[in-house]
A and B are shown apart, each in its own frame.
Chain A
Amino acid sequence: MRTLLLCGMAAAVAFSTPTLAQQELVINSFGGSYEKLHRKLVITPFEKKYNVKVKVVTAYSSATLAQLRAQRTNPQYDVAHFSGGLEAVAAKEKLLGPIKPSELTNYKDMYPFAVAGIEQGRGPVYSVAVIGLLYNTKSVKKPPTSWQDLKRPDLRGRILITDAASNTYGMLGMLMMNRAAGGTMDNIGPGLAFVKGLLPHATLISKSPEIQQNFAQGNAWIAAYAQDYAFTLTKAGLPVKFIVPKEGAAFAPITINLVAGRKNRDLAVKFIDFSIRAEASRGWAIGLRYSPTNKAAKLPADVASQVVYGPAAVKKLVAFDALKIGKERPKWNEAWKRAIAK
């Protein structure tokens, strides 16, 4: 009996050793419809092509950055996806590792702005989100043309504001409202006053599925959010359109970054290279209307009209200095929380 037990234990130990296991890559993704498409375009094909296992942790950028800081001495991610310029903060803190252009086979196909910082640890931009205004075309008779239109009396009670403290898109929306109200990155007072004025007539949300929920329930007719999300809502059957207000729309690059200090760097770089290939770039545009950053991605005409296509169009977007965002964010978060608290 005892020998049987010992044999059983030995067998259990033998089978649990990693010699038979596949190589594993740990990444973060953003959940919901984004993660679904992420798996379809990149994660699952990558797993098949290289016969590895990719472990996906659903975490927005701020939470991922917090985790990387906590795990500085023993990072648990191999690749980190960031939006809202947080990669600049992470790279400055040496949480991300540099990549040489020669290590990426798709390097030559990328727009220069998309690969500008890879040698300093700021990973390539693999898609661009545009933050502007989404509105329900059936309920809003007069289409909005400006950020100031959020103040329109006919839209009262139907406005959605995204929390700037926990959501980078919300932060960029707040910065655009600030810009339209006359503020700057050093003084977000006008932006906060603008938002405070909207609050009695608005619902505050923090996660993207809440936007869909509110639009579907008829609770919201207009929101400051991303162009790609307008497409998600139309796919769900809602009559939603995205517009670039006359003061501009925010440029929100989404980057894929190499985490420093991990053992499987080679596999991680392969994953990054796989993520920026033309096929993926095209897939993001067709699937969710993210704007492509790979020159070789050819889009059908109807898709091209719903994204920002080409370097000239990208130049028209308002870009906020990522390092400045990183520096000011804690102050902005404090001020924001005070402005929205009841």
Chain B
Amino acid sequence: MSSRSEPFWLLLPGLLVLILAFFWPVGELLVTSFFTAPQAGAPPAGTRASAGLANYAKFFADSYYLGVAERTFRLSAITTFFTFLLGFPLAYIMARAGPRLRFWLIVLTVVPLMTSVVVRTFGWLVILGRGGLLSKVLEWTGLSASPIGLMHTETGIVVAMVQVLLPFMALTIMGVIAGIDPKVEEAARTMGAGFFGVMRTVIVPLSLPGIVAGSLLTFALSISSFITPTLVGGVRLPMMAGGIFSHITGSLDWNFAAAMSMLLLLATLAVIVPYAMLLKRRGA
């Protein structure tokens, strides 16, 4: 085996899995999205009857679906912002902490990731529901007169999503900050910069690649998120992934669901690809 073809053979198994499990199904989905069934709900779903951009046209022409997309992107942007606000300080503390504290902080951050997101979301249902923990605290402190909850609200969705996605943001940024030599911070301090001055002028600019990576990851995960927005938001606050699911199992209009899936994939790629190209240009 020549050393030139070795990388290819090493990559082959992974490449095969990627093709079979990702590219082929997504390709099928792409093709399905360009067809419409002869009559909505008629068998078999996903039938290749008439070709065209009808499904995409339907999505963009309808204020309902545009509203679903708007809600998805808006809440994801808000989620990403708050995840950053909470994740950055956490990442800095984790990066600069002593070995023992860092160990426990990492464990505390990673352990939720090992729990199924369904279980974590159900935990939120209990806390955010009317009569739940949050409701009791609000009533007890007098901030609310009657049992109130954040269930079935956009705020509730953001709260739950931030908790679910925090580990991704925090660990990404932590990795970058850990790579910043503490001596650089000390140097800035000796030059007279206060704590926040150091943050603003040294840490944030140097950790920007990590911040951007973490934010893009959080945003991409957030827009395609299904379980948390569906369980916490309920049926009156539909988001993209929930809408796709509803079309597959409820309306049985797989062609349209495929179109929605493609649009979601495009949105994710539109966020990731420019970043990847930028990194390549920088020679990272």
Hey, which bits of chain A sit against chain B, CB under 8 A?
62-63, 65-66, 69-70, 72, 89, 92-93, 163, 165-166, 199, 203-206, 213, 217, 219, 326-327, 329-331, 333-334, 337-338, 340-342
Main secondary structure, interface of A, reads: helix
B-side interface size class: 20 to 34
- Which chain A positions have C-beta within 8 A of B152? 203-204
In the complex, are the beta carbons of B236 and A342 less than 8 A apart?
yes
Q: Is the CB of B131 within 8 A of A165?
A: no
Instruction: List 26 A-B pairs, Cβ < 8 Å.
Output: A63-B249, A66-B248, A66-B252, A69-B45, A89-B41, A163-B235, A165-B235, A166-B246, A166-B249, A166-B250, A204-B234, A206-B235, A213-B129, A217-B129, A327-B41, A330-B40, A330-B252, A330-B253, A333-B246, A333-B251, A334-B251, A337-B64, A337-B238, A341-B237, A341-B238, A342-B236
Chain A residues with Cβ under 8 A from B52's Cβ?
none
The answer to whether B41 touches A326 (Cβ under 8 A) is yes
Interface residues of B in 118-164 (CB under 8 A from A): 129-131, 147, 152
Q: A106 to B248, alpha carbons, bound, how many Å?
A: 36
Closest chain A residue, CB of each to CB of B68: A341
C-alpha gap A334/B41 in the complex (Å): 12
Q: Which residues of B contact A62 (CB under 8 A)?
A: 249-250
- In the assembled complex, the Cα of A62 lies from the Cα of B248 at a distance in Å of 10
**Cβ-defined partner of B236 (8 Å) among A66, A89, A327, A340:** A340
- Residues on B with C-beta less than 8 A from A330 are 40-41, 251-253
B43 touches A66 (CB 8 A): no
Interface of B (DSSP majority class): loop
Contacts of A89 in B (CB 8 A): 41
Note all chain B residues with C-beta closer than 8 A to A72: 44
CB contact between B252 and one of A65, A163, A199 (< 8 Å): that residue: A65
Task: Select from chain B the residue with minimum beta-carbon distance to A170.
Answer: B235
A204 lies within 8 A of B45 (CB): no
What CA separation (Å) do A203 and B43 show in the bound complex? 34
Contacting residues, chain A, for B67 (C-beta < 8 A): 341
B41 contact set on A, CB distance < 8 A: 89, 326-327, 329-330
Which residues of B lie under 8 Å from residue A66 when comparing CB positions?
45, 248-249, 252
Closest to A90 in B: B43
B35 to chain A, nearest CB (A): 16
A204 to B233 alpha-carbon distance, docked (Å): 11
In the complex, A251→B234 CA distance in Å?
27
